[in-house]
Amino acid sequence: MYKRFKSELKVVVNPISTWINENSKLVDSNEVTQLYSGLNSEGTKVIQNLFENRIFDYPKPISLLISIINQCTKKDDIILDFFSGSATTAHAVMQLNAEDGGKRKFIMVQLPEKTDEKSDAYKAGYENICEIGKERIRRAGEKIVQETGKTDLDIGFKVFKLDSSNVKTWDPDFDNLEQTLFDLQDNIKEDRTKEDLLYEILLKIGLPLTTPIEEIDYNGKTIYNVAYGSVLVCLEDDIDLDIVQEMLKYQSEHMPPKVIFKESGFISDAVKTNAIQTLKKHGITDVRSV
């Protein structure tokens, strides 16, 4: 094994990362090769312009990612960054879409690594890297729309976090079984929202998280029309037959939908039975509860 120490070097230089320009193939072999350089300093400047502060160290240079995405993807591809950091890749995708009219989508994955309590990021209210990435996407999207004037540009995004199921598991306390049964009357965990449960339902029935969802307000209750009437969901309490009749208005014309309710959501068992019979009269037999 051969080792060489930094102290032995006569000339000390920092390496520069570069990306060969796509037009370099047109350059004569005797000419100097054209390089398109994206340096970390560029990434830092972009962050500072967005946040008016240096809240993230060594962000990826956006020009480099725009060049890579432009050369390696089609205009309707999905770009995945599994170590998204400050979400430079998402920023690059939105910028490139604005420039060439593309419809690319992005998926950013990042562990919620905590920021140092002494850092500018923490002092600015960003307790982990994910919060920095989310805010960057918001600010970058708004800036791109403002600079380009393209108000129809898709700069929206959804945030999902890995977590346990929203449904309580059967874990009986045999010393206090009566209380255990009482707790399971409502089998949804107390700190979960209807939206949390809805997306778990989508995954369990095999639908992607990008499935279109329409929220319908009916007398203060929310009905979810999923995939253009293919799935109808109501996760409210005090469900009555009027809500069931309203749900029928949104069923798909092509095939009977799946209909999903919260197990404890009906006003009474009699109403639940009548609801199932009403749905069957309209050809809907796939009725489920969670």
For residues 89-97, average pLDDT:
98
- The amino acid sitting at 238 is D
Q: What is the distance in angstroms between the CA of the first residue and the CA of the last residue of the chain?
A: 62
Listed residue (271, 208, 282) closest to 236, CA to CA: 271
Q: How far is CA 255 from the centre of its chain?
A: 29
Clarify whether residues 103 and 196 are in a common domain.
no
Clarify whether residues 283 and 222 are in a common domain.
yes
Single out the residue in 105, 133, 148 at which a domain terminates.
148
Clarify whether residues 226 and 123 are in a common domain.
no
Distances (CA, A) of 242 to 51, 106, 284: 50, 40, 17
Per 3-state DSSP, the chain is made up of helix, strand and coil in percentages (nearest 5) of 40, 15, 45
C-alpha R_g of the chain: 27
Q: Are 92 and 69 in contact (CB under 8 A)?
A: yes
- The amino acid sitting at 236 is E
Class of residue 151 by CB neighbours under 10 A (exposed 0-12, middle 13-18, buried 19+): exposed
Q: What's the structural domain count of the chain?
A: 2
Tell me the pLDDT tens digit for each residue of 223-281.
999 999 999 999 999 999 999 999 999 988 878 899 999 888 999 999 999 999 999 99
Crossing angle of helices 88-100 and 40-51, rounded to 10°: 90
Distance, in Å, from the CA atom of 277 to the CA atom of 11, rounded to the nearest integer, reads 84
Clarify whether residues 186 and 134 are in a common domain.
no
Residue 35 has pLDDT above 50, yes or no: no
Clarify whether residues 99 and 219 are in a common domain.
no
Measured at the alpha carbon of residue 285, what is the angle toward residues 281 and 288, in degrees to the nearest 5? Answer: 125
Q: Are 97 and 103 in contact (CB under 8 A)?
A: yes
Structure confidence at residue 263 (pLDDT): 84
Structure confidence at residue 182 (pLDDT): 43
Range of the domain at 35: 13-148
Tell me the pLDDT tens digit for each residue of 55-90.
998 898 999 999 999 989 999 999 999 999 999 999
Distances (CA, A) of 146 to 103, 129, 237, 270: 19, 26, 43, 56
Structure confidence at residue 146 (pLDDT): 97
Residue 186 has pLDDT above 90, yes or no: no
